């Protein structure tokens, strides 16, 4: 049984081959494309569950490919980039790419990202998770309650907005721009300082150790990631009801 | 009307080619004309008297008076006020003595003659005065026009010249020609050290004219004209001559010219700064794109090696022996690619740095070609490489190591072109001419359009902002670099039927035993 279909897009043949072989060895069905136009065409016919996309492509660059893919589907896009392409990488994430890896990367890192993206995509049909819990922290988005060590935590309106924006996309790298536009509105897209201040306020209220955050993790220069696993589904929530209440 | 001041040989052929009389000659004209005026006054009056004397009884006194008046007008017109007045009085006396009865006395016989005589004197003086003033004004206007013309020709010379120190010498030469200086030097202030440095010298050996005023030196009579803009001294003209000192109009023109010249110096200084900034910007840009290209080309093989190695190390998949072998093969290939790139970069930097010396010796071309082709065949197993040697292998004068790098790079280039376009063959052809051996590496790929051919031999030409690619961009420049160290040539031809042919030639070994 295949784990899923992955489209690998890179103009360097050696990279395509190495990544493709590694994915096939882990039971993925793999197709490869060497330029942007081929990638867009294959996305149509091969219908991948995930696209691994190099940004620096001939004919149609990675940003355009991201835009075209996003216009048609929500297929997870993992962007491959090199260090000088910082701006392109952020632009790709802003356009809707889901995560990135910087070359050179290990196959173990790649597999971790691929599996995380596929897992998240698999749960997309279901209603978004509303409950999170870990250690002494319990978050219930529906009833607007955050409990930490048995004590209710009071959050401001903006802090709530930020908490919701982050936790609705567990594991996904959310760019500064996306967070600012979602929580504050389109006019605030560049106020990274405001975002940083509120993230650190929120961390002080919910992180066990605000100096070494494990719930809201920074991706320097790019954005933040919510790393708290949601409580799976209502049935399992019921079964674990004792521990979370 | 152009009176050329006698001039020193070299300046007669000044590039400006403007012919303007030295202002000096114009000023010396006035006293000479005055002398001529006196001559006219005396000789004219005497001649008129002599001419009228035989017929003095037949002509009325009024007519004779007009004759003398004419002499006054001519004398005043030529010599100015004082010759005119001299002619008036002299004429007055002659008129009275010879032509007013009773003749040959100063006694005037009739009352009306007294009126005629004094009206003559008064008119003469009046006419002299008016004429002299008019002439003076006309001369002043002409002198001003001359000043302007001089200034205009000087500034035209300055503006027409190409910016830069080369134009200073010709401007200095023209200046000296116009003002009659025999030697001159231009000193320009160095922007950093603030010292005055001699930039141009005409009519004297460099170093003879000193920018500093030294009462003991023989050049102490020289003019020193500072060149300044906005109160800052930019330079200094030192001009020496045997001529008398400058007249006020000459000083004015010279001063105006110095101001213009100072602006030119300022312009050249700014232009120099702008050029420097541009060169720096371009170098900086090349360095940036080069860095991007190097890091891209190094990172790509590194990335695939890293991916393959971590794949093999990963315990989440079951890798069979065949799988592991194939991965290792890929890793090996990438390592070769990295090594080749590093070798190319090193070659390029050594060629550019001029650190390479060819060890020229008799080298068997066929041997090198065969070795390189075998190596290329192993690297590109899907392509068919074929060597066509015309007769015996040519022996050339070359450094075998360099030659090997040249051939390897050309084969690599052809193999990539063939692989990119799906062609199957790469051919190598050797031809001999009288004194050279020509090698052609022929591919049937996409070919190279004429406009890019020259650029292909410049390092990093393929490097662009969006697509930094270095590896293939170095092969041809390196080949060219090595060949030029060995007296070889390289060029690009079309392959008949499509594709590119890279050809190079090297001198054949003169004493090769195979030679017929």
Chain A contact present for B328, CB below 8 A? no
Across the interface, whether the CB atoms of B306 and A14 are under 8 A apart is answered no
Chain B contact present for A64, CB below 8 A? no
What pLDDT, on a 0 to 100 scale, did the predictor assign at position B217?
55
Which of B302, B310, B323 is the best mutation test for A, with the most CBs of A within 10 A?
B310
Across the interface, whether the CB atoms of B304 and A111 are under 8 A apart is answered no
| d(C-alpha B3, C-alpha B262), whole Å | 30
What pLDDT, on a 0 to 100 scale, did the predictor assign at position B490?
92
Measured between CB atoms, which of B300, B313, B333 is closest to A15?
B300
Q: Report ipTM (2 d.p.).
A: 0.72
Which of B296, B311, B327, B470 is the best mutation test for A, with the most CBs of A within 10 A?
B311
Nearest CA to B299 out of A7, A184, A83, A58 is that of A83
User: CB-based contacts of B247: which residues, under 8 Å, 6+ apart?
Assistant: B23, B27
Q: How far is A88 from chain B (nearest CA, A)?
A: 11
| d(C-alpha A181, C-alpha A124), whole Å | 22
Chain B contact present for A60, CB below 8 A? no
Answer yes or no: are the C-beta atoms of B388 and B450 closer than 8 Å: no
Q: How far is A111 from chain B (nearest CA, A)?
A: 9
Measured between CB atoms, which of A25, A83, A104 is closest to B306?
A104
Query: Is the pLDDT at B20 greater than 50, yes or no?
Result: no
What pLDDT, on a 0 to 100 scale, did the predictor assign at position A31?
93
What pLDDT, on a 0 to 100 scale, did the predictor assign at position B504?
94
pLDDT digits (tens, 9 = 90+) for A175-218: 999 999 999 988 888 888 889 999 999 998 888 887 788 889 99
Query: Is the pLDDT at B9 greater than 50, yes or no?
Result: no
Shortest CA distance from A12: residue in chain B: B300
SS3 of B67-134: HHHHHHHHHHHHHCHHHHHHHHHHHHHHHHHHHCCCCCCCCCCCHHHHHHHHHHHHHHHHHHHHHHHH
| d(C-alpha A143, C-alpha B155), whole Å | 88
Integer CA distances (angstroms), A130 to A142, A148, A235, in order? 6, 17, 14
pLDDT digits (tens, 9 = 90+) for B429-480: 998 888 889 999 999 887 877 777 777 777 665 544 444 444 556 778 888 8
pLDDT digits (tens, 9 = 90+) for B36-78: 889 998 999 999 889 888 888 888 877 888 888 888 888 888 8
Query: Is the pLDDT at A150 greater than 70, yes or no?
Result: yes
Across the interface, whether the CB atoms of A56 and B467 are under 8 A apart is answered yes
| Mean pLDDT, rounded, of chain A | 84
Enumerate the H helices of B165-205 as residue ranges: 166-179
Q: Which of residues 176-205 of A touch B (CB under 8 A)?
A: none
Measured between CB atoms, which of A22, A104, A111 is closest to B302?
A104
Measured between CB atoms, which of A26, A58, A107 is closest to B307?
A107
pLDDT digits (tens, 9 = 90+) for B149-201: 888 888 887 777 777 777 888 888 888 888 888 888 888 888 778 888 888 88
Retrieve residue A82's tokens: 């090199």
What pLDDT, on a 0 to 100 scale, did the predictor assign at position A7?
94
Q: How far is A12 from chain B (nearest CA, A)?
A: 7
Query: Is the pLDDT at A65 greater than 80, yes or no?
Result: yes
pLDDT digits (tens, 9 = 90+) for B395-420: 899 988 889 889 988 998 888 888 88
Across the interface, whether the CB atoms of B330 and A17 are under 8 A apart is answered yes
- The dihedrals phi and psi of B231, each to the nearest 5 degrees, come to 85, -5
Number of Cα atoms under 13 Å in the Cβ half of residue B26: 23
Across the interface, whether the CB atoms of A18 and B307 are under 8 A apart is answered yes
Chain B contact present for A84, CB below 8 A? yes
Chain A contact present for B143, CB below 8 A? no
Q: How far is A94 from chain B (nearest CA, A)?
A: 20
| d(C-alpha B254, C-alpha B237), whole Å | 10
Query: Is the pLDDT at B289 greater than 70, yes or no?
Result: no
Chain B contact present for A61, CB below 8 A? yes
Across the interface, whether the CB atoms of A61 and B466 are under 8 A apart is answered yes
Which strands, in side-by-side order, build the sheet including B223-229?
B196-202, B183-189, B232-240, B223-229
């Amino acid at each position: 049984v295949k784990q899923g279909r992955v489209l690998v897009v890179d103009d360097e043949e050696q990279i395509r081959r190495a990544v493709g072989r590694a994915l096939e060895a882990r039971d993925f069905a793999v197709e490869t494309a060497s330029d942007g136009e081929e990638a867009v065409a294959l996305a149509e016919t091969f219908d991948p569950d995930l696209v691994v996309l190099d940004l620096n492509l001939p004919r149609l660059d990675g940003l355009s490919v991201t835009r075209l893919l996003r216009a048609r589907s929500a297929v997870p896009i993992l962007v491959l980039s090199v260090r000088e392409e910082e701006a392109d990488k952020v632009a790709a994430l802003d356009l809707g790419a889901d995560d990135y890896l910087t070359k050179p990367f290990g196959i173990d890192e790649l597999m971790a990202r691929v599996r995380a993206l596929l897992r998240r995509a698999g749960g997309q049909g279901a209603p978004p998770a509303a409950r999170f819990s870990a250690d002494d922290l319990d978050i219930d988005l529906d009833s607007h309650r955050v409990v930490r060590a048995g004590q209710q935590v009071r959050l401001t309106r903006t802090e709530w907005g930020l908490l919701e924006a982050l936790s609705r996309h567990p594991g996904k790298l959310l760019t500064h721009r996306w967070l600012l536009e979602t929580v504050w509105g389109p006019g605030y897209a560049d106020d990274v300082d405001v975002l940083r201040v509120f993230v650190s306020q929120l961390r002080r209220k919910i992180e066990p150790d605000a100096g070494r955050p494990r719930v809201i993790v920074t991706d320097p220069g790019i954005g933040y990631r919510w790393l708290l696993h949601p409580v799976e589904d209502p049935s399992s929530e019921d079964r674990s009801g004792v521990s979370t209440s | 009307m152009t009176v050329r001041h006698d001039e020193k040989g070299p300046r007669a052929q000044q590039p400006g080619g403007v012919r303007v009389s030295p202002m000096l000659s114009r000023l010396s004209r006035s006293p000479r004309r005055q002398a001529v005026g006196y001559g006219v006054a005396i000789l004219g009056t005497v001649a008129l008297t002599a001419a009228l004397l035989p017929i003095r009884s037949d002509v009325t006194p009024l007519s004779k008076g007009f004759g003398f008046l004419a002499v006054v007008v001519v004398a005043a017109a030529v010599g100015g006020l004082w010759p005119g007045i001299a002619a008036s009085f002299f004429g007055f006396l002659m008129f009275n003595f010879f032509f007013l009865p009773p003749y040959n006395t100063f006694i005037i016989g009739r009352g009306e003659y007294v009126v005629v005589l004094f009206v003559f004197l008064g008119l003469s003086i009046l006419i002299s005065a008016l004429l002299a003033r008019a002439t003076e004004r006309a001369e002043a206007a002409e002198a001003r026009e001359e000043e302007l013309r001089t200034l205009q020709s000087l500034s035209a010379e300055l503006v027409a010249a190409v910016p830069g120190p080369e134009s200073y010498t010709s401007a200095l030469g023209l200046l000296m020609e116009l003002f009659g200086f025999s030697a001159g030097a231009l000193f320009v202030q160095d922007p950093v050290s603030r010292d005055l440095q001699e930039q141009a010298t005409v009519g004297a050996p460099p170093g003879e004219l000193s920018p500093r005023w030294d009462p003991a030196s023989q050049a102490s009579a020289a003019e020193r004209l500072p060149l300044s803009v906005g109160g800052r001294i930019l330079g200094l003209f030192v001009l020496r001559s045997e001529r008398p000192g400058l007249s006020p109009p000459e000083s004015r023109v010279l001063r105006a010219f110095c101001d213009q010249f100072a602006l030119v110096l300022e312009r050249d200084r700014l232009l120099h700064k702008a050029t420097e900034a541009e060169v720096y910007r371009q170098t900086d840009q090349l360095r940036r794109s080069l860095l991007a290209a190097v890091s891209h080309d190094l990172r790509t093989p590194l990335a695939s090696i890293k991916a393959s190695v971590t794949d093999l190390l990963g315990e989440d998949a079951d890798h069979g022996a065949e799988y592991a072998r194939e991965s290792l093969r890929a890793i090996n290939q990438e390592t070769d690619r990295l090594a080749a790139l590093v070798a190319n970069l090193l070659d390029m930097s050594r060629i550019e740095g001029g650190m390479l010396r060819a060890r020229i010796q008799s080298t068997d071309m066929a041997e090198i070609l065969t070795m390189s082709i075998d190596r290329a065949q192993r690297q590109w197993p899907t392509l068919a490489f074929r060597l066509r040697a015309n007769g015996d292998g040519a022996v050339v004068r070359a450094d075998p190591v360099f030659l090997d790098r040249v051939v390897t790079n050309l084969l690599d280039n052809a193999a990539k072109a063939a692989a990119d376009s799906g062609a199957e063959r790469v051919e190598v052809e050797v031809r001999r001419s009288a004194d050279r051996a020509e090698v052609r590496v022929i591919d049937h790929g996409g070919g190279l359009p004429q406009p890019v051919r020259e650029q292909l031999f410049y390092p990093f030409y393929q490097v662009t902002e969006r697509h930094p690619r270095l590896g293939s961009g170095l092969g041809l420049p390196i080949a060219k670099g090595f060949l030029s160290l060995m007296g070889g040539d390289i060029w690009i031809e079309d392959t008949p039927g499509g594709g590119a042919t890279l050809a190079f030639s090297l001198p054949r070994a003169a004493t090769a035993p195979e030679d017929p």
